[in-house]
Chain A
Amino acid sequence: MFDILADISLATLLVTVSGIALGIFFGALPGFGGSASLAILLPIAISLSPLDSMVFLIGVYAGGHYGGGIPSVLVGVPGDAGAAATVFDGFQMTRQGRVAEALAMVAMGSAVAGAFSVACFLIFGPVLAQAALRFGPPEFFVLVIFGLSVLGSIDLERMIKTLFAGMLGLAISAIGVDPYWAEPRFIFDTPQLYEGIPFIPALLGLFCIAQMLTLIDEKSLVSGQPAANPTLGATLKGMVETFRYWQSLLIGTVVGTFVGALPGAGATIASFVSYNLAKSTSRRPKLFGKGSPEGLIAPEAANNATVGGALIPTFALGIPGSGSAAVLMGVMMFMGLRPGPQLFMEQLPLIQTLCVYLLIGCVAMLLFGALAAGTFYRLTRVPLKVLVPCTIVAATIGAYSGRSEVFDLWVMLGMGILGYVLNKGKYPLSAVVLGLVLGPLAEQYFVQSLAMTDWDFTVFFTRPICIVLWLMILASVASAVILFRRNRAAEG
C-alpha cells in the first residue's frame, strides 16, 4: 500500500481534482447532477488512460454529490434528489445569515463521509457486496417502504400533510406504463409520458420553479441583517465545528455507505433516513427544520457516503447501483476491466491506487469548499429579481438537456405551479419528491416479488431481512409519534 503512495503521479492527481471540480460545478447546476454530468463529460474520460478515466469519472460523481448540496443551502433548490433533505436546515441557515457556517459544514461533512465510504469500499467491498446479494425484490420493496416511513417525521407538526404529499408523489409516479404488462396508464397517447413523468424536469419544477416563484416576492434571500463576507479563517472554523456534531456525521456516514451499497436504493433514501435517525437521536430535535447543524450534516454526509457505497456493488458484483454507477461500469468495461468478485483479486493494486487518489480528492473537495465560500456568499447578495429569472433559465437547460424535448419544459413549468400551490398550502415538497423517486422502485419490486411467488403476499412478511426491516419501520413510526407527542407536551 505504501508503494502506491510513492507512485502518486501529479498528472493523475490533477485529473482527479479536475473531475471533482467539474463534478461540483455540474452538481451545483439544477438538473445536472448524477448521470447527466457523467454523460456530458464521457468524451473527455474515454480519451484518458484506464486509471485516469476511472479517477476522473468517480471524481465527477463524488464532486456532483457535494455540489448538489450547495444550491440546497444557498437558494433552497437541491442540485439533485439526494440533496433534497439538505434544504430543510441548510437553507434556513442561509436565511438566518449563517451561510458560511452552512457551506463549511456541507464541505466537511461531504469530505469526511466520502473518504469513509471510499475506505469502506476498499476494505469491506467484497464482504458488503455479498451481504447486498441477499437483498431480493421483497427486501428492496420493504426497504423502500422504510424510506417512505420516514416521511412522517420530516415535519412532525404537519404529519398528515407530509404523508399526503408523499402519497401524491407516489400517485404521480404511477403515470406511464406499468412494469408488469407495460399497459399505458394516464398518458393520453402522449409518447413522451410512456416512461412516466420525466424525473429531472419534475424535480426542477417542484423545487426550483416553485422556490423561485416563492422568492420573487421577497426582498432578499437573507432575512434581517446579513452577515459579513466570510473570511477563510471563519470558514475553516466552521469546518472544525462540524466535528462537534460527530453523532450526526457518524449517522449520515454509516447510513449512506450501507444504503449506497444496496443497488437501486440511492442517495435519496440514505439522506432522508439519516435525517430521520439524526432527529430521533438528537438532544435538540425541535431545532430540526429551523437551521440545526445536525439536520444539515446528517443528510449531506449520507448523500456523499453513497458514493463509496455505490462503488461496492458496481465493482464487486457488476451490478450498478444507479444510473451514474451504470455509466462508470460501462467505462470500466470499455477499458477492459471486468467488474465482479474477481476484480478485487486480479486488480487489487489498481483498486487501491484508485482509492488513494479518491481520498486525496476528498481533501481537494474540502479545500475547494474553503476557498469558494466567499464567492458563494456573494451569490446570496445578488438581488432576487435578477437571481430568480437567471436561475429559471439555468434550470431550463437542465430540464431540456435530458431528452431535448420541449415537452419536458412544460412538465417543469406545470410541476412548478403545482409545487407553488403545495408550498402555499404548507405541504412539504421534499415528501412529493421522495414519493416520485421511490414510487417506480416500490411498484417494480412489489410486482417482481409477487410474480416470483405466484402472488403470495406473505413473501413480504416471512423473509428474515424483511422482518428486520418491518421492525425498523415500526421503530421509525413509533419514534415519530413519541417525538410528536413530546413536542406537543413541551408546547403545553
Chain B
Amino acid sequence: MATVEELKKKLAETEKKLQHEIGRMQAARICENLMSKYEYLCSHGRVEEVMKCFAQKTPGLRVEMNWGVYEGVESVKRLYLGFHRSFGQTPGSMVILTNTTCVMEVAGDGQTAQAIWYCPGLGTGAGPDGKFHANWGWAKRAADFVKEDGEWKIWHYHVYGITSHPYERSWVEGNANITVDMVPDDEKPDRPPTTDTMYDVSKVDQYLPVVPEPYETFDEKTAC
C-alpha cells in the first residue's frame, strides 16, 4: 500500500503533467488568436500594432512573401511599416485574407508551435492607370511561433500565394501577383523568395506548406 508521501508525490506529478497539457492547449488557442489578430490588424492598416505580433528579441525573425524574404527586425519593419502601411488606410484600398483549415502543433516542451492555414481572400487597389481593380486572391500561411518574455509571438512567417486575379477573370486564365520590381527600393526584401506556388494550368499543385507533425523541441529543419 502506498504511503501518504508516495501518494502526495504522485498527485503532484499528475497535477504538473495536467498543467503542462493545459498550457499547451492554451498555447494553441493563443497562437491561433495571434495569427487572426495579425490578419485583422494588417487588413486595417494598423501596422505598428502588427509589429507587436512578431518576436523582435529572438534571433532568426523572418517573413517571406511571394516577392522575397525579409530577415531581422529592421527588414520586417520595412515590410510592414513601409509596404503594408497603405492597406485599408488609402481610400479605396482593401485587402483581406481569412484564416481557415488550421493545423496547429504545439511542441511537447511548450516553447514553440507550428501552424498552417488556407486563406481565401480579396483585394482592391489602384493599378498603374489609377483605376481601382477588384481581385480575388487565395494564399496559404505557415508560421512558427516562439515564447518571448512569456508571451507568444510570430517567429517565422511564410505566405504561399495560390491565385490572384481580377474578379471577372478566372484563375485558369492567369494569375498576377506582386513581384519584387513592383516594390519600392526602400521596401525591397533581403533575398529572393524560396518558393513559387502560384497556380498555373501548366503546373502541378505543390504540397506546400507541409502539414506540421507533433514534435518535442523545435528543429530549424522544419521551419516554415
Partners in one complex: no
Chain B residues packing against A (C-beta within 8 Å): none
